[in-house]
Structure 1
Amino acid sequence: MNLTELQLTKLTLDAYADINFERPAGIRWQAQLNPTELAFSRKNVYQATQSAGTSAPQQSFSGGEPDQIQLDLLLDGTGVVGEPGGIGRSLDALLELTRFQGDTHQPYYVHAYWGRFSFRGVLTQADVTYKLFDRTGEPLRATVKLALKEALSPEEVAAEDRPSSPDLYQTWLVSDGERLDTIAAQVYGDSAFWRPLAAANRLANPRGLVTGQLLILPPLAVRR
């Protein structure tokens, strides 16, 4: 086993100037010690809609929020790990990733990776707690909590949404005066699709829509 194989894989943050992560900003920050904790969060949003004649609201998916992660880091310059010395420069370099950049008019985009972990987003928050100082006031130890939020390009969002996917069902809340053919025209671009709509919702009278009624919009494969 060579020296490279013995070296510990370190958490690395690379800065980019664009949301497509194609323009490196030339800034790389590497952790002295790997995270003591890594938390991942994913949240979906559902909207409750009450249909006429039902006792409980229907939960319909209205979208997802960007994934988020939190990293807990320890910076130590006491000499317990590596050479002794102040951690000020390393900490400043890390916080630079959260600063407004004049050329892009926003902070950098960040690619964080460590082993099988890979996350692309923006640094939304950095909380620093200083734990130890030398005689001159130079910080020797600090903990840092980093919060990152996922950043996707418009192309990636469109690919994930797949609005014409054959396995994607949607819902429609009927407003006052709406008809099945006008809904079909608005959703599918063709009023003739009122028949698949009526069949999917088991409507005996397609003209008898009720305000507040929740309709199922069948996906592309079922509309034909």
Structure 2
Amino acid sequence: MDAQSAAKLPFNLKIIPTNRDGIPMGVPFLAMLNPENFSVKEDVVWYEKPIPGKNGTDPTFLAVRPRTFTIDFILDGTGVNTNGVKIPVTAQVALFRGVTTNIRGTIHRPSYLMVQYGTFVNVCVLTTSTVTYTMFDLAGLPIRAKISATFTERIISGLSDVLGMLSSPDLTHEVEVKQYDLLPLLTYNIYQNQHYYLQVAKANRIKNFRKLKPGTKLNFYPLLSAKKQ
């Protein structure tokens, strides 16, 4: 893989195993090719009680279900799209399953997850995944496949005391940028919400948030201050 392709990898789709509090732990799955499709579904639950003798009703709000989102992406083992680098499709599928569906011995269940793609960051769990093999070599081994994965968003009701101390939005945090760090993900780690990354960029006078310079120190101000920037 050439330097240009390697530089793009941090911006590709990442599925990161986390603990219950949403803190990354373990080796993530990094897609070599970006998603073909990305859809987000939101469901609002209403109670509709029929009124005798009348048409229609006035629905009563009950709840908003957790968001679900579906990502379709390609696994390629031909090397055509990855500058000659050939990673067997079966190995890529195994890596994906290792992160998303394999039972973890310590928690007796699949991992909690964080999905990050561009500015989208979400803590979630995998609900369904389908692997469709679309190309085979002369020996019948798959060399290309498509994964369609659906995730359900998690709402973390309470962060641990340690996480609270490290990520409190009421404190100013200084973070040193490491190679391949992404501003939306850094912002999520501090505020538990990636949507403030533009305010953080403005507060730190960053002209191009997609190209953070390793070694740079960024200030993440208290949430109210960040909103005012």
TM-score range relative to shorter protein: 0.5 to 0.7
Aligned-partner Cα distance in 2 for 1:133–1:100: 29
Whichever residue aligns with residue 118 of structure 1, its letter is V
CA offset at residue 129 of structure 1?
0.6
Is the counterpart of residue 116 in structure 1 residue 119 in structure 2?
Answer: yes
Question: TM-score when scaled to structure 2?
Answer: 0.60
Distance change (3 Å), C-alpha of 1:133 and 1:6: closer
Distance change (3 Å), C-alpha of 1:155 and 1:61: farther
Aligned-partner Cα distance in 2 for 1:100–1:6: 31
CA offset at residue 42 of structure 1?
0.4
How big is each residue's C-alpha offset from its partner over 1:66-104, in whole Å with a ceiling of 9 and x where there is no partner? 100000010111121121342221110101211222321
Aligned-partner Cα distance in 2 for 1:17–1:86: 29
Identify the match of residue 129 of structure 1 among 127, 132, 142: 132
Question: TM-score when scaled to structure 1?
Answer: 0.61
Quote the residue 1:87 is aligned against.
Answer: 89
CA offset at residue 120 of structure 1?
1.3
CA offset at residue 7 of structure 1?
2.9
Aligned-partner Cα distance in 2 for 1:115–1:53: 53
Matches within 5 A, 1:1-224: 7-8=7-8, 9-18=11-20, 20-22=21-23, 24-50=24-50, 56-82=56-82, 83-96=85-98, 97-155=100-158
Quote the residue 2:216 is aligned against.
Answer: none
Matched residue SS, 2:25:
strand
Matched residue SS, 1:7:
helix
Distance change (3 Å), C-alpha of 1:122 and 1:48: same
List alignment gaps of at least 5 residues for structure 2.
160-229
| C-alpha RMSD of the superposition | 2.5
**What is the percentage of aligned positions where both structures have the same residue?**
25
How big is each residue's C-alpha offset from its partner over 1:117-156, in whole Å with a ceiling of 9 and x where there is no partner? 1121001111001112233443210000010001112238
How big is each residue's C-alpha offset from its partner over 1:12-51, in whole Å with a ceiling of 9 and x where there is no partner? 1110131x213x3312110010000001100000001356
Aligned-partner Cα distance in 2 for 1:41–1:143: 21
Matched residue SS, 1:27:
coil
Q: Is the 8 A contact 1:17 1:104 kept in 2?
A: no
Q: Is the 8 A contact 1:95 1:126 kept in 2?
A: no
Aligned-partner Cα distance in 2 for 1:56–1:152: 34
Aligned-partner Cα distance in 2 for 1:89–1:106: 22
Q: Is the 8 A contact 1:86 1:138 kept in 2?
A: no
Q: Which has the higher strand share?
A: 1
Number of corresponding residues: 152
Aligned-partner Cα distance in 1 for 2:30–2:155: 23
